[in-house]
């Protein structure tokens, strides 16, 4: 089989090389002729195959963490030869060079861009060197213009400080790490002041609740996942409670709440049990979502002003909002309209799907859990970055997971189809959390991959061949299987095979955060109490392995950082091999079209509410009959309600 598969490739003394077209052809034939008839139950009886498809990564000793990530691919319908073919595909797409570009940005590591601090030297030797560097930079830029791929600098967001490291921008050679580390220091200083009560609300009370407002996808979903996971972690919980003990009221904990819609009813219910005097509102304003986010924010601003105006000798709205609101945005014009001390900027060199490690997440996390937890989170992300950059693809977890996704999305479904020439529309893969701490992870992965991989392929010459080979494939969506498999249990009666992925912590995290009630804790002290709990935990992990293939992770701040970075790199590699630009720049066309559509609908609705709309006027052809009918009913109801209110 190996000889036949490699017959379309050119063989050198060191390796076998294929073009992308050849690699795809080999994989398709392999899936059709050598895999389609195999049964998974038989494949899993091959112990050598099973052991070869299980990968374990232990965190770097420098990280001072005992975190371990395990990826088990043995329950995938694939063989060792399949993996070798997938690795050949990755090689044909220049995966090693692409990863190096991600870690350096658009620089040649052998001839890096000259830092801007040296460019101001006017002597001849420096000018000569600058000319050489500018020439090299132009060559690099031409290369990226040809492929239309400009890497994000998201790995710079978790590079440790204090090590004299550099990551340079191609425009002027500025070291982006300087601003990032300065921002860390600022967040650490402000969050610690809030946690110690040195930056209180207008009434002098300590900030306890943080409400995050945002209508973006990946960063908000990531923050929700991290928060829910850390609420189950003992070390993070200690930071969450620090300084919150109040005599006679027991232990209190800081909280993060999320408002991701402009629905005023949702906003009201969200803050129903919050004290405005101890609440901080943080708005995450991303490109293309400015209007929706600010509308949702204004609802909470009104809530703050109505309840706090006049308290603590403060009546001015700007004073109240300056103590109870902050903003994180990449929109510099919007940032300029607010007080500098309350605004945190997202770097221009980091695109939206990869903003989890910006102020959008680390600011609220630092306020609620403390900087040590955030520091561990950043270290976890950097640990996976180091593994991603330094490890051979054969043992590289993000690469292995991405290749497995491509195998399932583009090849497995096609090989099992009755019509092999039909367009392959994959239903997607189901990600099921088997422990509470993982509950938010599927939504984050779904948001990240939809933004990264759900994009058009490039038309450049460098990706033309791979496009021809993958033209029948499309990026699959990620489906949240629900806690403990409430969704994917239905697959047992489905006729179509859908890839399934399970995540679970090996540490039960039992008893953390007072998760056991007092009666349960008393039962634990009685004979049989502890045994019952251990049996339940044993049953859970047995259920996981009885149900499907798996991932098994332990979740603390460090591991949360690892998981976010792992998901980012996995999505980027998939997009690259598919020939998709994983780095969206600016506001996407579909976002612009949606904004225009929203504006048109808003104008039509306002006319209906103000009775300026003529039901027989069909000038607005953008609205179909059903939309017009529903909007008119809403407008009539809204008009009567607002007249009654006046």
Among the listed residues 453, 449, 432, the one whose alpha carbon sits nearest the alpha carbon of residue 551? 432
Residue 33 DSSP class? I
Mean predicted confidence (pLDDT) in 477-499: 59
For residues 300-322, average pLDDT: 83
Please tell me which of 165-179, 233-247, 252-266, 376-390 the model is most confident about, judged by mean pLDDT.
376-390
Question: In the chain, how long is the greatest CA-to-CA distance?
Answer: 85
- Which comes out higher in pLDDT, residue 360 or 618? 360
9-34 in b/e form (b: 16+ CB < 10 A) is beeeeeeeebbbbbbbebbbebbbeb
Residue 456: which pLDDT band, with cuts at 50, 70 and 90? low
pLDDT at 420: 39
Please name the residues in contact with 54: beta carbons below 8 A apart, sequence gap of 6 or more.
Answer: 70, 71, 72, 73, 74
pLDDT at 548: 40
DSSP strands (E only) in 405-529:
429-433, 478-480, 500-503
Q: Which of 352-356, 566-570, 606-610 has the lowest mean pLDDT?
A: 606-610
State the pTM of this model: 0.80
Rounded Cα distance between 584 and 565, Å, is: 18
CATH number of 177-369: 3.40.50.10490
Looking at residue 157, its pLDDT comes to 93
The pLDDT of 345-366, averaged and rounded, is: 91
**pLDDT at residue 645 above 50?**
no
Which pLDDT score is estimated for 351? 83
Pairing of strands 279-285, 209-214: parallel
pLDDT of 16 > 70? The answer is no
pLDDT band at 483 (very low <50, low <70, confident <90, very high): low
* DSSP, res 552: E
Measured between alpha carbons, how far is residue 305 from residues 196, 259, 343 in Å?
24, 18, 20
| The pLDDT value given to residue 512 | 43
Q: Which residues contact 3 (CB under 8 A, 6 or more apart)?
A: none
Cα angle at 56 between 50 and 58, to 5 degrees? 165
Specify the 3-state DSSP secondary structure of 507: coil
Chain segment 535-565, per-residue pLDDT in tens = 555 555 555 555 543 332 347 899 899 999 9
Beta-strand pair 500-503/551-552: unpaired
Classify 19-92+381-578 by CATH class. alpha beta
The reported pLDDT for the residue numbered 136 is: 47
Is the pLDDT at 13 greater than 50, yes or no? no
Alpha carbon distance 375, 379 (integer Å): 6
The most confident of 25-29, 455-459, 460-464, 498-502, by mean pLDDT: 25-29
Is the pLDDT confidence value at 211 over 90?
yes
pLDDT in tens, 97-153: 888 888 866 555 565 566 655 544 434 444 444 454 455 444 444 443 434 556 778
Q: What is the mean pLDDT of the chain?
A: 75
Q: What is the DSSP letter of 31?
A: I
CB atoms within 10 A of CB 578: 25
State the distance between the two ends of the chain, measured CA to CA, in whole angstroms: 81
Nearest to 353 by CA among 253, 255, 249, 451: 451
- Strand segments (E) across 155-208: none
Contacts of 570 (CB under 8 A, 6+ apart): 398, 401, 402, 405
Please name which of 376, 367, 375 lies closest in space to residue 253, comparing C-alpha atoms. Answer: 367
- pLDDT category at 17 given cuts 50, 70, 90 is low
pLDDT at 535 (0 to 100): 53
Percent over 70 (pLDDT), the chain: 65
Q: Which residue has the higher pLDDT, 637 or 446?
A: 446
What pLDDT is recorded for position 541?
Answer: 54
What is the residue extent of each domain of the chain? 19-92+381-578, 102-158, 177-369, 589-645
**42 versus 400: which is more confidently predicted?**
400
pLDDT of residue 357: 95
Per-residue confidence (pLDDT) for residue 507, from 0 to 100: 58
| Topology match between the domains 19-92+381-578 and 177-369 | yes
pLDDT tens readout for residues 576-614: 888 888 886 655 544 554 556 666 777 777 777 777 666
Do residues 84 and 18 touch, judged by C-beta distance below 8 A? no
With cut-offs at 50, 70 and 90, classify the pLDDT of residue 206. very high
Instruction: Return the pLDDT at 133.
Output: 45
């Amino acid at each position: 089989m190996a000889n036949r598969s490699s017959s379309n490739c050119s063989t050198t003394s060191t390796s076998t090389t294929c073009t992308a077209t050849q690699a795809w052809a080999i994989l398709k034939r392999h899936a059709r002729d050598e895999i389609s008839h195999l049964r998974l139950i038989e494949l899993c009886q091959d112990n050598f195959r099973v052991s070869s498809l299980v990968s374990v990564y232990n965190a770097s000793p420098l990280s001072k963490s005992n975190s371990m990530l395990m990826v088990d691919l043995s329950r995938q319908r694939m063989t060792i030869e399949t993996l070798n073919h997938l690795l050949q595909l990755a090689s044909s797409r220049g995966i090693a060079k692409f990863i190096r570009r991600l870690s350096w940005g658009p620089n040649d590591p052998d001839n890096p861009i000259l830092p801007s601090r040296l460019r101001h030297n006017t002597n001849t030797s420096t000018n000569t060197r600058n000319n050489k560097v500018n020439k090299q930079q132009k060559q690099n830029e031409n290369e990226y213009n040809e492929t239309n791929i400009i890497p994000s600098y998201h790995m710079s967001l978790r590079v440790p400080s204090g090590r004299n490291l550099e990551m340079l921008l191609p425009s002027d050679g500025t070291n982006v790490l300087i601003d990032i580390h300065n921002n860390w220091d600022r967040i650490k200083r402000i969050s610690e002041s809030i946690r110690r009560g040195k930056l209180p609300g207008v009434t002098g009370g300590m900030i306890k609740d943080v409400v995050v407002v945002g209508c973006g996808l990946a960063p908000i979903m990531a923050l929700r996942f991290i928060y829910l996971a850390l609420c189950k972690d003992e070390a993070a919980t200690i930071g969450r409670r620090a300084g919150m003990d109040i005599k006679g009221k027991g232990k209190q904990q800081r909280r993060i709440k999320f408002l991701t819609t402009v629905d005023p009813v949702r906003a009201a219910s969200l803050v129903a049990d919050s004290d405005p005097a101890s609440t901080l509102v943080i708005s995450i304003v991303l490109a293309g979502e400015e209007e929706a986010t600010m509308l949702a924010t204004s609802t909470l601003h009104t809530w703050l002003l109505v309840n706090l105006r006049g308290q603590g000798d403060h009546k001015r709205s700007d004073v109240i909002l300056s103590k109870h609101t902050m903003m994180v945005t990449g929109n510099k014009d919007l940032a300029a309209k607010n007080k500098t001390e309350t605004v945190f900027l997202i770097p221009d060199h980091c695109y939206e799907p990869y903003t989890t490690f910006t102020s959008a997440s680390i600011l609220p996390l630092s306020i609620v859990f403390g900087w040590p937890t955030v520091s561990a989170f950043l270290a976890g992300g950097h640990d996976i970055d180091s593994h991603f950059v330094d490890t051979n693809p054969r043992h590289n977890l993000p690469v292995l997971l991405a290749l497995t996704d491509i195998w399932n999305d583009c090849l497995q479904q096609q090989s099992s189809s009755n019509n092999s020439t039909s367009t392959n529309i994959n239903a997607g893969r189901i990600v099921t959390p088997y422990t509470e701490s993982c509950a938010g992870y599927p939504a984050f992965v779904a948001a990240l991959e939809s933004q990264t991989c759900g994009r058009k392929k490039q038309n450049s010459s460098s990706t033309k061949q791979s496009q021809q080979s993958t033209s029948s494939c499309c990026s699959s969506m990620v489906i949240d299987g629900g806690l403990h498999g409430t969704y994917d249990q239905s697959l047992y009666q489905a006729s179509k095979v859908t890839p399934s992925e399970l995540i679970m912590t090996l540490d039960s995290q039992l008893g953390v955060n007072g998760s056991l009630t007092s009666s349960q804790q008393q039962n634990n002290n009685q004979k049989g109490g502890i045994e019952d709990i251990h049996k339940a935990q044993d049953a859970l992990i047995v259920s996981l392995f009885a149900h499907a293939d798996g991932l098994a992770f332990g979740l603390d701040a460090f591991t949360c950082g690892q998981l976010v970075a792992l998901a980012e790199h996995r999505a980027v590699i998939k997009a690259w091999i598919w020939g998709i630009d994983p780095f969206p720049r600016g506001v996407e066309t579909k976002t612009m079209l949606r904004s225009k559509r929203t504006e048109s609908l808003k104008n039509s609705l306002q006319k209906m509410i103000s009775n300026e709309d003529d039901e027989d006027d069909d000038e607005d052809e953008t609205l179909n009959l059903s939309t017009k009918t529903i909007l008119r009913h809403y407008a009539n109801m809204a008009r009567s309600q607002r007249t009654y209110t006046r």
